[in-house]
Amino acid sequence: MSNGSHNRDNRERNIFSIKMQKKLVVLFAMVLLAFAGLSVRLVYLIQEKGTRYQKQVLAQQQYDSTVIPYRRGDIVDCQGTRLATSQKVYNLVIDAKVMLSDEDYLEPTLQALGANFDLDMSQIREYVNTHPTSSWYVPLRQLTYEQISGFLAAQEEDRNNDRNIRGVWFEEEYKRVYPYDSLAADVIGFTSTDNQGSYGLEEYYNDTLNGINGREYGYLNDDLALERTVKAAVDGNSIHTTIDVNVQTIVEKYLKKFMDENNGGYHEGNGADNAACVIMWVDTGEILAMASAPGYNLNDVRNPENLLGSKMVEQITNANGYYEIRNTGTIINPEVLASMDQDQVYLNLNNLWKNYCITGTYEPGSTAKPFTVAAALELGAVTPNSTFECTGSLEIGGYTIRCHNRFDGVLDLEHAVAKSCNVSMMKIAQAIGVDNFVEFQKIFNFGLRTNIDLAGEARTASLIYTADRMGPTDLATNSFGQNFNVTMVEMITGFCSLINGGDYYEPHVVDRITNSSGATVKNIEPRVLKQTVSESTSELIRQYCNAVVEYGTGVTARPAGYRIGGKTGTAETIDPVTHTRSETDHVVSFIGYAPADDPQIAIYVVVDRPNVEKQGDAKFATRIVRSILTEVLPYLNIFMTEEVTPEEQAELDALQLENTYRYTPAEENGGQEGEDQEGEGQEGEGQQGEGQPDEGQEGAEGGDGSSGQPWKQFPFDPATGYYVDPDTGEKYDPETGLSAEGSETVVDTGLPLNPDIQ
């Protein structure tokens, strides 16, 4: 390249550089002028209109998008009595920024607060002075209108004068309230502070009961006047239950009476691990009452003192790697409670909050015998004229399985049920066969959820045998209610189908849902799911269950003036420490109906490990049933079917003076005659025992008409009051002929638990 060309290029670059520099200087000057103009304008706005804009910002902070809370729907009983409701309450909010915005506001406001609320005013003053920009401080929550009315009156009076009480307002919300405290706690459940239901109806119908929050929008217009736009809240729907508060109160009264009378009876702790009752309308599946003890106060659910007397549970990891809650056998007394950490307390409270009637699983014992007989009748494996010889035991699968009664002899089908003969049941099960037996368990819904409308129903599918796992000994023990588990709601729902003609109704607690205006939005009608047995079989089962109470094992369940039917049951349960089958721990029960000839209600009472020395006595359950029905049947306008003896009339007269059939939640015990809670009879069934009544032994003779009292041929021991077999030394009750050793020595097959029952 020539020197001339090179010089020309340099001159062009210098000219371009000078032009760009001039342009940049001009642009920079313009930017500076723009910033100067904006700064001047900003200063002007702050000086001239700053107060106005500040008010608008503050107004938006205070009023923009204020929440209007919805009201959660009520839970009411079948008569409209509120079991759960929502009460408007108020949170006291202190706005320190407003209170300090004028020197004339602070002292009058603090003085009004101190005069109307129980507050530490030195603490309030300190907070306001140390947090001058705070607009949200809540020293008191969930105040009633009565509690804030005094301050509101002072505030209103102040508005008519100098308006110096400033910086205090009340935030509205709703508090869940349970007017009857602990009544029907298992059924109702409770809510957390954010309106989320826990347990029972509160959880199951949570979305139905909850509504939608509203909003209040606010702003200041050009004249600094407050403008408001309100979107109203949508309140939740209410649910109308089938529970009758009067029947529920009667049930809970007698459960509590049993627990109190046996508290600390044989060892430290409650009168039983659990005592529970369900009453159901036979022809609809509607739950009339459901309760278990010990209970808790719905208005104070987290009170650890509710745990006193119960057995502590712990969380462990089982062999399958899953968490499992197990009973430790340790009684929670004040010392134990004080040593428990927060997690242990919460774990045990969760266990207390569970509804035993739908979550507790146990072996049903002899209450399963009507189901075995019904299956055999449906299959034609037996007839009403079939007879069974009981020699006191039966050899099955290499085990000697004994009957509770050594002297049954030959029994027809009615006497086999009435006397609760294990040998007869085992022979009936052999006639049914494994496949058919398992199939009928499914028909009766054992192992399946009932789908009751309560949260937390237990699954029992793994707690019953399948055909491929059931051997001859398993079939035998299952026939009289051993080695498979059920829940109370499973049993009473299936039992109702046995006695109502075969209709299996889906159990339910709610029959109607209404909106906040009271209009019905949904009716829940009784629902038949299937037919379990024929009408003819149902009629025979009623005949046999009537005999149980007329002359069999359930005589002590009959209330004065009524014929009822039913079946007693006793089953061994699991030792809380070793978690193996216990020979001393029992679950005793009675399932029945009234009246005998036209069943309208069914009742099921279960007592889990009564706190007595000899637990295997069904009278712990039958006497509760008798007391409950004595009051419930007249209240339900179910008329007497039998003449009343003078002694029974005296009892009823005394009860009438005590009760008026309209109860309050504070009502305490009463209405039950004083009876010795430990019956003498011990009716063992297989590996379990069941209480034999000490009266009404007309059915002691066998179906062949024998005297039925051969034990009286043994020598009588006046020291013990028993007849003693000279060959074996075994003692027999003089009235019933049952072994004085009860269920503990009835049988020892050595059978393991159902592998899935731990």
Model pLDDT for residues 297-310, shown as the tens digit of each residue: 999 999 999 999 99
Highest mean pLDDT among 137-151, 497-511, 563-577: 497-511
Higher pLDDT residue, 363 or 688?
Answer: 363
Mean pLDDT of all residues in 30-36? 80
d(CA 283, CA 493): 10
Highest mean pLDDT among 48-62, 349-363, 741-755: 349-363
How high is the pLDDT of residue 522? 97
Report how far apart the first and last C-alpha atoms of the chain are (Å, whole number).
Answer: 102
> Coil, helix or strand for 504?
strand
d(CA 402, CA 405): 8
Mean pLDDT of all residues in 634-647? 92
Predicted confidence (pLDDT) at residue 738 exceeds the cutoff of 70:
no
Confidence of residue 438 (pLDDT cuts 50, 70, 90): very high
The neighbour count for residue 379, using CB atoms within 10 Å, is: 15
| Cβ burial, residue 345 (10 Å; 0-12/13-18/19+) | middle
pLDDT digits (tens, 9 = 90+) for 349-404: 999 999 999 999 999 999 999 999 999 999 999 999 999 999 889 999 889 998 87
d(CA 571, CA 582): 10
Predicted confidence (pLDDT) at residue 123 exceeds the cutoff of 70:
yes
CATH of domain 66-241: 3.90.1310.10
d(CA 517, CA 347): 40
How high is the pLDDT of residue 319? 72
Q: Are strands 226-231 and 238-241 parallel, antiparallel or unpaired?
A: unpaired
Structure tokens, 465 = 């045998």
Mean pLDDT of all residues in 432-437? 97
- Name the segment(s) of the chain with CATH classification 3.90.1310.10: 66-241
Strand ordering across the sheet containing 601-610: 287-293, 272-281, 601-610, 581-594, 565-574
Residue type, 122: S
Q: Are strands 75-76 and 238-241 parallel, antiparallel or unpaired?
A: parallel
Distance of CA 191 to the CA centre of its chain: 13
d(CA 135, CA 692): 72
Q: Which fold has domain 357-690+706-745?
A: Beta-lactamase (3.40.710)
Q: Which of 63-72, 81-90, 298-307, 501-510 has the lowest mean pLDDT?
A: 63-72
Angstrom distances, CA of residue 264 to CA of 269, 272, 273, 306, 673: 5, 9, 12, 16, 21
d(CA 742, CA 736): 12
How high is the pLDDT of residue 618? 92
The length of the chain is: 758
Beta strands in 37-151 (DSSP E): 66-68, 75-76, 82-94, 137-143
- Name the segment(s) of the chain with CATH classification 3.40.710.10: 357-690+706-745
> Coil, helix or strand for 727?
coil
Mean pLDDT of all residues in 687-702? 34
